[in-house]
Amino acid sequence: MLADIEEFYRLDRLPHIWCPGCGNGIVLACLVKAIKELKYDQDKTVVVSGIGCSSRASAYLDFNTLHTTHGRALAFATGIKLAKPELNIFVITGDGDSSAIGGNHLIHAARRNIDLNVVIFNNNIYGMTGGQYSPLTPKVQKATTAPYGTIERPFDLAKLVEAAGATYVARSTAYHTRLTTELIINGAKNKGFSVTEVISQCPVSYGRRNRFNTPAAMLEWQREMAVPVIKARSMAPEELEGKIITGELYRGHAPEYVSEYTKLTQRLKEEAEGV
């Protein structure tokens, strides 16, 4: 483990459950580095997660942590933010957790533009349950539930949350660790709903079935497929087919939900008191 971020881990909870070569530890370290660089007080920082291999990450962190139920991390995080707006809240969620069972929570949290920082560990598969395809499994790729390759089109999650109302949307990969940390920092600074999707590798439930012989091959694939958003703007759609567009994809402005809620409750209080 990296010595400079060790203080943010619950070392007594190790060893972790992840398979050798899994991307979860890398993405988690990027998040921890971001929190360190933001200089957030450990006691005023909350990490909420759902269920899945990636969501297990919250258990290893020494912040206020909540390991919740499948797809419901955002519902718990919304409650915490409303009760204690002063806290810095990060949500860790997998592609299945966030876009399948938790898909409705995701779009409505985006629509509210509530000040939460979501990091989606997108390994393109349901890792924990053995490799069923998720709404983010690329077409033709294989899964236990798609042995001949999935015929479904995946969501473009970044476009989905942008359309739903998120005011910060970014994408990186487990290979691009510095970029991932930087994007999470920028998302945390946005007062509103921030989503950073990080393409990660699950060599066991996804890689083996899809001709990635080693975890390193999956990282190489991430490096080769990544196209910085500035370069992507001058490329044709056909050239971008199958590519991973990385960087800050969208920034918007909208009223933040907790601020609006506070204004409303203040107004009602003043009216009741006859101010």
Our finding on whether 96 is near ligand SF4 (CB under 6 A) is no
Site mask for ligand TPP (CB under 6 A), range 198-217, x = bound: ----x---------------
The β-bridge partners of 245 are 227
Number of residues near ligand TPP (by CB under 6 A): 18
| Contact mark string toward ligand SF4, 54..93, x via CB under 6 A | ----------------------------------------
Tokens encoding 238: 């056909």
* In the complex, least distance from residue 56 CB atom to ligand TPP, rounded to whole angstroms: 8
Of the candidate residues 21, 96, 187, 247, the single one contacting ligand TPP (CB under 6 A): 96
Interface of this chain with ligand TPP, residues 223 to 262, rule: CB under 6 A: none
22 binds, among ligand TPP, ligand SF4, none (CB under 5 to 8 A by kind): ligand SF4
Give the length of the chain.
275
**Out of 9, 74, 88, 94, which residue is the one contacting ligand TPP (CB under 6 A)?**
94
Helix, strand, coil share of the chain (percent; to 5): 45, 20, 35
Beta strands in the chain (DSSP E): 45-49, 64-67, 88-94, 117-122, 125-126, 132-133, 168-173, 194-199, 226-228, 244-251
Report the distance separating Cα 185 and Cα 193, nearest Å.
13
> Cβ of 226: how many Cβ atoms within 10 Å?
21
| Cβ-based nearer residue to ligand TPP, 28 or 245 | 28
Q: Which stretch binds ligand SF4 (CB under 6 A): 15-23, 62-70, 72-80, 99-107?
A: 15-23
**Closest CB to ligand SF4 among 9 and 121?**
121
Q: Closest approach of Cβ 52 to ligand TPP, in Å?
A: 3
68 binds, among ligand TPP, ligand SF4, none (CB under 5 to 8 A by kind): none
Q: Cα separations (Å) of 212 from 18, 172, 208?
A: 18, 20, 6
Out of 34, 202, 219, 258, the residue judged to bind ligand SF4 by CB under 6 A: 202
**CA distance linking residue 92 with residue 38, whole number of Å:** 17
Nearer residue to ligand SF4 within complex by CB, 16 or 36: 16
Give the C-alpha separation, 118 to 107, whole Å: 12
Residue 96 contact among ligand SF4, ligand TPP, none, beta carbon within 5 to 8 Å by kind: ligand TPP
d(CA 39, CA 17): 28
CA 24/CA 18 separation, integer angstroms: 8
144 forms part of the interface with ligand TPP (CB under 6 A): no
